């Protein structure tokens, strides 16, 4: 049996890889980690690939799959030189950024996503009031009964903690999702 999503992605990835290698814009390498059950399937698959592969008989693929939370295929993880994950969504990156303009597809920094103003009990305030504070993002929704039920506990914890320290804040957003800032 053939995995059509993998075949389609592999063709796209070969184009992407070859294009990236031609530009010398990024110093990178791609390593194929196979989940083929039979060696002849593995050999057929790698015969079309221009990049290095982990050998078929090597059992590190299971360890790598767990480490990088591979739950399905195709799966492309981009890691830095220390093995730290930059993105687990490299498949989307290859399809949506064919020219590699945004490679290695780092998530946007919080400061690039953050609104200029936040809503507090006292009204809208400039986000700079949060400078030098710890941030915890709490996503919730009013339509969710367990989330709604947790609000009294959150309020009580907020009040107790606020009495002891002032390096955090709680603010609710437009979508009735709460943001806990500590």
Residue 79 corresponds to which tokens in the numbers above?
A: 């890691």
Which residue ranges in the chain fall short of pLDDT 70?
1-2, 136, 169-182
* pLDDT score recorded for residue 75: 94
* Cβ(168)–Cβ(161) below 8 Å: yes
86-96: pLDDT as tens digits: 999 999 999 99
Predicted TM-score (pTM) of the model is 0.65
96-121: pLDDT as tens digits: 999 999 999 998 887 788 888 888 88
> Which candidate, 85, 98, 96, places its Cα nearest to that of 20?
98
Helix (H) or strand (E) holding 154: helix 145-164
How far, in Å, are 4, 53, 72, 153, 166 from residue 1 at the CA level?
9, 21, 16, 52, 60
Q: How far, in Å, CA of 13 to CA of 9, rounded?
A: 6
Block residue for tokens 């920094």: 109
* pLDDT score recorded for residue 94: 96
Q: How far, in Å, CA of 20 to CA of 100, rounded?
A: 7
Q: Counting every residue, how long is the chain?
A: 182
* pLDDT score recorded for residue 169: 65
Q: What is the DSSP letter of 99?
A: T
* pLDDT score recorded for residue 176: 39
């Amino acid at each position: 049996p053939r995995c059509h999503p993998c075949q389609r992605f592999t063709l796209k990835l070969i184009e992407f890889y070859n294009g990236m290698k031609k530009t010398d814009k990024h110093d990178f390498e791609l390593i194929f980690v196979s989940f083929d059950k039979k060696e002849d399937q593995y050999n057929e698959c790698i015969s079309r690939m221009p990049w290095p592969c982990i050998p078929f008989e090597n059992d590190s693929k299971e360890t790598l799959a767990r480490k990088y939370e591979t739950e399905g295929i195709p799966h492309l993880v981009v890691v830095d030189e220390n093995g730290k994950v930059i993105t687990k969504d490299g498949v989307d990156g290859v399809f949506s950024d064919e020219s590699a303009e945004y490679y290695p597809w780092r998530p946007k920094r919080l400061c690039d996503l953050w609104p200029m103003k936040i809503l507090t009990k006292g009204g809208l305030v400039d986000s700079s009031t949060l400078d030098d504070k710890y941030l915890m993002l709490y996503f919730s929704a009013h339509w969710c009964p367990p989330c709604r039920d947790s609000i009294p506990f959150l309020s009580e914890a907020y009040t107790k903690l606020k009495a002891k320290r002032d390096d955090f804040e709680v603010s609710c957003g437009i979508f009735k999702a709460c943001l806990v800032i500590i």
